[in-house]
């Protein structure tokens, strides 16, 4: 695939689809237009090849790939400044970096002792994370994102989607929730909250002192809260759990990597409920960045889709972010698999174009 075909074909398709979606669900003009402070953003990697494409597509803000899986020279102030310089060399702003607290299941976690509550390894791991946060602040990086999960991202298979694309799916009835325990064994809801609180009480004050916001990605997928899943009560896999989470250690530096797709998975009727959830967390200034992903279905049975053919009205969702004054990145996430697009580049370009078009329409109202 040559670069001209990639840039010209897929971005144009995204813009066309966005226009159709906007036509189907008009954003409408308001009597008193609100400012639009959102920007399209990228996540996952920061290779020169990717940065060149992003610059051409007008994506000027990113969350980089992981600097390193452990605390090493890449996480030093000098190392993070080099990362910033690399990104900024393409006219792109480095808005965030991921901490090595990924969405991997606990057996593959970079710092498992934090959630396993294994001492003294837990305190050493948290000390590493806190120093990474301090160094990010000194390097001029205003945001870090992270996960607190035992289970990783759980799916039960794939389903055919539009035009023969392959969509990731989850069906709770097929997921064997009483299956084998994770490496953590049996973990009650109270034990989960105790371990989460222990981490936050140490990390949030450091983030506030460093001037770095720390953004948690919710547990994916949404799960019932009245029973364990593979031995674990996944307390961050519900909207009520996220409400408790953001209030656990009050601070403007403690909030959410607001994955709209994951949160949609927590709702019985995301096409009706998502907008009020955005308002709840947005009015509390707890949305630090957004994974702008759509699903078809809801709690316990869903399929990930392209942004314009799921249950959530995406133009309406974007208007809700504007309504609460959200300032930050709106990013594609979890794109479907399409034949001939092994690296998902075309699918992501489609999503970038879709988001750019929706933001442009919002700005035309001001």
Write out pLDDT tens, residues 50-102.
999 999 999 999 999 999 999 999 999 999 999 999 999 999 999 999 999 99
**pLDDT tens-digit profile of 114-156?**
999 999 999 999 999 999 999 999 999 999 999 999 999 999 9
- Determine the pLDDT at residue 356: 97
Residues 221-249 have a mean pLDDT of: 98
Q: Name the residue ranges covered by the structural domains of the chain.
A: 3-27+34-364
Given a contact cutoff of 8 angstroms between Cβ atoms, the answer to whether 299 and 267 are in contact is yes
Give the pLDDT band (50/70/90) at residue 6.
very low
- Determine the pLDDT at residue 32: 58
For 211: left if phi > 0, alpha if psi spans -120 to 50, otherwise beta; the answer is left
DSSP letter (8 states) at residue 325: T
Give me the numbers of helices (H) and strands (E) for the chain, helices first please. 12, 12
What is the reported pTM? 0.91
User: To the nearest whole number, what is the mean pLDDT of the chain?
Assistant: 92
- Determine the pLDDT at residue 366: 64
- Determine the pLDDT at residue 33: 73
Angle between helices 345-364 and 11-24 (to 10 degrees): 50
Task: Return the CATH number of 3-27+34-364, one of 2.40.30.210, 3.30.70.1520, 3.20.20.150, 3.90.1010.10.
Answer: 3.20.20.150
């Amino acid at each position: 695939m040559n670069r001209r075909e990639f840039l010209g074909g897929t971005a144009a398709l995204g813009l066309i689809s966005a226009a159709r979606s906007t036509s189907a669900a008009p954003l409408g003009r308001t009597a008193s237009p609100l400012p639009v402070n959102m920007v399209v953003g990228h996540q996952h990697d920061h290779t020169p090849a990717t940065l060149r494409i992003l610059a051409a597509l007008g994506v000027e803000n990113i969350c980089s790939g992981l600097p390193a899986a452990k605390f090493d020279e890449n996480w030093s102030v000098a190392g993070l400044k080099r990362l910033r310089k690399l990104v900024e060399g393409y006219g792109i702003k480095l808005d965030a970096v991921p901490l090595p607290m990924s969405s991997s299941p606990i057996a593959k976690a970079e710092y498992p002792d934090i959630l396993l509550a294994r001492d003294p390894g837990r305190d050493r791991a948290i000390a590493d994370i806190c120093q990474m946060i301090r160094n990010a602040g000194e390097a001029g990086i205003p945001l870090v994102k992270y996960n607190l999960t035992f289970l990783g991202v759980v799916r039960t298979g794939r389903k055919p989607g539009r035009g023969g694309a392959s969509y990731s799916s989850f069906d709770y009835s097929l997921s064997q929730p009483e299956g084998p325990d994770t490496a953590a064994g049996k973990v009650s809801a109270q034990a989960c909250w105790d371990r989460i609180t222990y981490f936050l009480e140490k990390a949030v004050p450091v983030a506030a002192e460093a001037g770095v916001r720390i953004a948690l990605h919710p547990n994916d997928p949404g799960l019932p809260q009245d029973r364990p899943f593979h031995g674990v009560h996944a307390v961050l896999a519900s909207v009520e759990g996220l409400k408790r989470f953001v209030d656990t250690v009050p601070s403007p530096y403690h909030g959410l990597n607001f994955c709209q797709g994951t949160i949609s998975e927590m709702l019985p009727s995301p096409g009706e409920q998502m907008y009020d959830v955005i308002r709840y967390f947005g009015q509390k200034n707890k949305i630090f960045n957004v994974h702008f992903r759509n699903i078809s279905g809801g709690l316990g049975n869903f399929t990930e889709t392209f942004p314009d053919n799921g249950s959530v009205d995406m133009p309406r969702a974007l208007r809700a972010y504007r309504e609460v004054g959200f300032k930050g990145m709106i990013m594609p996430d979890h794109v479907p698999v399409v034949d001939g697009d092994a690296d998902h580049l075309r699918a992501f370009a489609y999503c970038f174009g879709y988001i750019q078009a929706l933001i442009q329409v919002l700005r035309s109202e001001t």
